[in-house]
Structures are given as C-alpha cells and as structure tokens.
Structure 1
Amino acid sequence: MILQKTRLWLTLYFIVTAIHLDAIAMRLHMLQNVTKALLMPLLALYLLSAIRHLRPAIFRNLLLTALFFSWAGDILLIQEQYFLPGLGSFLLAHLAYIGFFLKVRYTNHPLPLCKYPFIFLTEIVVLAFLFFMLPYLGSMRIPVIIYAVAISFTLLCAMHAFRLGEQPMGWYCIAGAILFICSDAAIAVQHFYRSLPAAGIFIMTTYCLAQWAITEGSCRYLKSRVKA
C-alpha cells in the first residue's frame, strides 16, 4: 500500500510536469502557473511517502526545506518584479541541499575521497560563465555571483557525499545538480543576455528533472542506510 502511494505521487509529479511543459508550448499562462505551483508539493509528498519513518529526521527535514524554498522560488518567479526574492529563495534551497549532502558525507563511512580534478573543472566552468555574463548583469551582479557560487557548491557537495562505486544512487544527485546548473544558466542568459528559442521548455524540463533526480538519489541513499 505504501509503495503504491509512493508511486502515485511520483506518477502525478511527472504528469503535472508534462502538462506544465505543454502549457508553456501552447502559451496557456494560467495553466502554467497552476501546474508550476503543484510541482514541488507533489515531489515533497513523494519524498514523505518514501522515507516517512527513516531516522534521523534531519536528512528528511533538509530535503523538505530545499523543496519548500524551491516552491517559494517557483511562485515568486512567476512575476518578473519578484526576480530577486525568487533568486534568494532558491539560494536558501541550495543551502539546504548543501547541508544535506554535507550531512551525508560526514556520516558516510569510510569518508568519500576528494575529487580534486572535478572541483577545478566545476569552478572553471562557473567562473567562465560568470565572466561572460558580468557585462550584462548590471545591479544584479553581486546576487548572481553569490547564487552561482552556491549552486556550484551544491554540485561539488553532491560529488563528494557518496562513494560512487558502492553507492551508485549518488549519480542521481550529481546529475540533478548538473541539470539544475543548466536550468539556471539558461534563466540567466534569457533574463540578462538575449531571448532563447524554446527557453521556457528547456528551463523547466531541466529543472523538473533536476529536482526529481536529487530527490530520487537521496531517497535511495536513505533507504540503503536502513538496509545496511
């Protein structure tokens, strides 16, 4: 029964995602807004259904915090004038994800090894993108830089949270963090540089897959702790 309910929430999440993408393509703004507001609550219900009774609760609470601030960011970004508060809300979401991955890393024994080449590669890519975007950011320069640093740390923390050879569920989280960066990079280009064809569909496809992948990988890891 619990497994069926868990699958139901996840199925509903992907159905609403598909409807949302169709609404973007057909420019049905009201339907876009309604479905966008439903996405993170459905993913949170999937998360709660999958790991409701797992302890310690700090893991679950950090993930729920990330989804809550992501939901708040989704709502705020519906209106252009709330771009900065929306960015701030997503910053808090990434801080919660960073807290989750650090918690996983430092309760994971033996401790996962540092992957220095990936650290340098990630930061080089982020810095190159920022240098490209800087002339176009105007008064938003500092907030965007802070956010870019935070999202790069989400990826780095996901990379270093798991022993990937033994814990392949970590790849879900890494893929999710990479997709999140792709989504946010497209938002930055669209908002500050130039309009992109089918930008809304690309942004929301990568975003919805990112949130699912991080949640899925996290749930699989937390379930594996119980079995171990």
Structure 2
Amino acid sequence: MRLGYRLAFAVLALTFIATLPWAPYGGSFVPKVAPILLLIWATLQAPRFAGRGLLVAAIFFSGAGDVILDLVFEGSFIAGLVSFLTAHVFYVVLFLKGARFRRSLAFATLLALSFPVGMALFLWPHLGPMQLPVALYISVIASMLVTSLHRSSLNLTVVAGAIAFVISDSILALNKFYSPFVWARYAIMATYYLAQYLIVTGVLKEQADLA
C-alpha cells in the first residue's frame, strides 16, 4: 500500500479516536468507518490477485459492523456481531487459500487457541442469553487467528493483525459483559484499526512481492 494511503489511514483513525469522548454523536459513524473505506479503496486500486474479492468483502463487512454498532438501535449489538462474524469468515476463507499446516507452529497454534478459549470460559457465566452467539463468534475469530498462522506463506504482519483483532474483540467483550472501564473504547478502536491495517497491508505487500 502506498505511503499516501498509509498516512491518510493514520490521520483518519486518529481523528476518530480523538472524538471518542463525544461519541456516539450525530453522524459519528462517518469518521469511524472512513479508515475502513480507505482500506477498501486501496485494495481495489492494487493489481488484481486471487482472493482480492475475499479481502474486500472482509473489510466491507467490518465497516458495516462499525456503522451498525455506532447507530445504537434495538438489536444493534447482535446485528454488528453478525456483520463482524461474516467479515471473519471471509478472512478465514482468504487465509485458507493454499493453506498448509506447519508442525513447527503447533505450539504457537495451541497458544493461539488457548487465549480465545480461556476468554470464553472466563466470560461464560456473565453472558446470559448471549452465550451461544458469543461462543460462535469466538470460534470464528479463533479460526481466523489459527488460519493466519498456516497460510501458504507465513506473513508475520498478517499474523500480528489477527492477534490485534483478537485483542480488540477481547477488550470489547470484557467491557460489555464483565466490567466497563474508562479507557476501553480507546483500546478497542486503536487495536481494531491496527488489526485491519496490518492484515490489509500485509496481504497487499505479499501480493506486490509476488508480482
């Protein structure tokens, strides 16, 4: 991804994070989703590659989730959860293209699974009627993290992005279902933007190197 896109993404992400003390405010979904729309545009401007449609779809559904959660209507959390779950499914399918299991990463895979499983067990008594939806979501994001480790070529930038995504969603879950804390929104959005940036730039650089 070109330097101009990178700088623009940083400016847009920091701009929305700076407005979090007032969010949600009228039209706050616009600056919130702007960095994600920029990633879609940058991906579409990159040379065509196998899986580009999957990447665009994953970013798109993430952006849709951003908008849905910011609108705060009845059932918005479930709708946002479904949108982000769909995004992770597209990421999983993208990562599985040409995937191969690496025995050398077996321990890393167990570690990658242990965190979301541990988070699920910790939150389980606090989830109430959300137990099954959250369990499904955690299963999908855990799959996204594991498949990022076993792509056709190991890309640490993409893996770091997947880890950042798990961290972001874990902070969100702790804040919503266990105990709210004042800096949660800043941590959620910072790690979320970082996750999307690392995954997208990692994939695009990988494809550029192959060209």
TM-score (norm 1): 0.85
**Residues 146 and 112 of structure 1, relative CA distance in 2, 3 Å threshold:** closer
What letter is aligned with 1:103?
K
Q: Tell me how far apart the structure 2 counterparts of residues 127 and 55 of structure 1 sit (CA, whole Å).
A: 34
**TM superposition shift of 1:197:** 2.1
1:225 aligns with 2:210: yes
Contact 2:62 2:87 in 1 (8 A): yes
Q: Specify every segment of 5 or more residues in structure 2 that has no aligned partner in the other structure, as ranges.
A: none
Contact 1:9 1:45 in 2 (8 A): no
The Cα RMSD (Å) is 1.8
What letter is aligned with 1:204?
M
**TM superposition shift of 1:28:** 7.0
Aligned equivalent of 2:66: 74
Aligned equivalent of 1:98: 92
Identity among equivalent pairs (%): 29
**TM superposition shift of 1:25:** 3.9
- 2:102 pairs, out of 99, 113, 121, with 113
Q: Specify every segment of 5 or more residues in structure 1 that has no aligned partner in the other structure, as ranges.
A: 106-110, 165-169
Aligned equivalent of 1:38: 34
What letter is aligned with 2:69?
L
**Residues 112 and 145 of structure 1, relative CA distance in 2, 3 Å threshold:** closer
Q: Tell me how far apart the structure 2 counterparts of residues 39 and 210 of structure 1 sit (CA, whole Å).
A: 12
Q: Tell me how far apart the structure 1 counterparts of residues 162 and 73 of structure 2 sit (CA, whole Å).
A: 25
Structure 1 range deviating more: 59-68 or 74-83 = 74-83
Q: Tell me how far apart the structure 2 counterparts of residues 45 and 221 of structure 1 sit (CA, whole Å).
A: 18
**Residues 27 and 41 of structure 1, relative CA distance in 2, 3 Å threshold:** closer
TM-score (norm 2): 0.91
Contact 1:189 1:195 in 2 (8 A): yes
Per-residue Cα deviation, 1:130-157 (whole angstroms, up to 9, x for no partner): 1110011011100100110111111111
Number of residue equivalences: 208
Aligned equivalent of 1:61: 53
